[in-house]
Amino acid sequence: SEAVILSSTRAGVRTLTLNRPERLNAANDALLLALTEEVLAAGTDPGVRVVVITGAGRGFCAGQDLGDVSGRDMTFTEHLQATYNPLIRAIRGLDKPVVTAVNGVAAGAGASLALCGDIRLWSASAMLIEVFSNIALVPDSGSTWLLPRLVGYHRAFELMALAERVGAQDGLRLGLCEHVYPDETFAADVQAYAERLAARPAHALALTKRALNAALTGTLDEALDREAELQQLAGDHWEHLEGVTAFKEKRAAEFVRG
């Protein structure tokens, strides 16, 4: 049978495609474990500068495959700790930018996955639903942490309590995505965006991601100290010398080597 995660690489961009289109890419354990493994593998592959996560067919990810839950020999807690949580941690902890390219509906844990990218690109027909309350569950996979940081407590509660459907224009307005592209050109637009990101200084972006993620949970005082430490790592790296030299020579910096 075909792989539940497809992987391809072009111009430093590793694209991971959830591949259960007949189920709108609902996540079973095989898919979650394979995706986590692929994200971590992309992190250590020197040929990869940016990771894109997207879905095959008309959906992005419809969340937990509800056909897989009954008869499971794990508690909910055990299941989340074994599958979704390592995935979300792998993405946020990865030292490379992760773009979530939301090509269609993102529901439940699929919405959490859509939101946890460093850059979120939606197609015009993308839709996000905090669908958990429809089946009387609690939002998981990081949604309770991320969504209120994006839209505030009250809007987050409303979206979660009513499982309202957020379309692309509302997603843009609410800050759930950075850009919306037409369905017809979505894959090409995502690749072009990811290649722009891949041309940026990879080491500096890795430190930036680390600093931002830590800052979201800490104080200004801690952030100032962390910035001072990470700035040393950035400033000592060849990328910094290249950036400054290029500026002085009035040319574009070249951040891709080897």
Q: Given the rule CB under 6 A, which residues bind ligand T3D?
A: 23-24, 26, 62-67, 69, 76, 79-80, 105, 107-109, 129, 131-132, 134-135, 137, 140
β 13-18/59-61 pair status: unpaired
Cα separation, 170 vs 165, in Å, equals: 9
Q: 11 or 69, CB closer to ligand T3D? A: 69
Q: How far is the CB of 245 from ligand T3D (least distance, A)?
A: 49
Q: How far is the CB of 29 from ligand T3D (least distance, A)?
A: 10
Q: 177 or 198, CB closer to ligand T3D? A: 177
Q: How far is the CB of 224 from ligand T3D (least distance, A)?
A: 37
In 3D space, the residue among 150, 155, 122 whose CA is nearest the CA of residue 55 turns out to be 122
Q: 14 or 79, CB closer to ligand T3D? A: 79
Cα separation, 164 vs 181, in Å, equals: 22
β 165-167/127-129 pair status: antiparallel
Contact 98, 118 (CB under 8 A): yes
In angstroms, the Cα distances linking 111 to 49, 106, 135 are 24, 5, 15
In 3D space, the residue among 61, 68, 155, 157 whose CA is nearest the CA of residue 110 turns out to be 61
Q: 163 or 223, CB closer to ligand T3D? A: 163
Q: How far is the CB of 77 from ligand T3D (least distance, A)?
A: 8
Which H helix or E strand runs over 193?
helix 186-198
Q: How far is the CB of 59 from ligand T3D (least distance, A)?
A: 7
Q: 63 or 171, CB closer to ligand T3D? A: 63
Q: How far is the CB of 136 from ligand T3D (least distance, A)?
A: 10
Q: 43 or 110, CB closer to ligand T3D? A: 110
Which H helix or E strand runs over 16?
strand 13-18
Q: How far is the CB of 257 from ligand T3D (least distance, A)?
A: 41
For the residues of 23-36, what is the DSSP string, one character each?
GTT-B-HHHHHHHH
Cα separation, 106 vs 165, in Å, equals: 10
Contact 126, 147 (CB under 8 A): no
Q: 23 or 49, CB closer to ligand T3D? A: 23
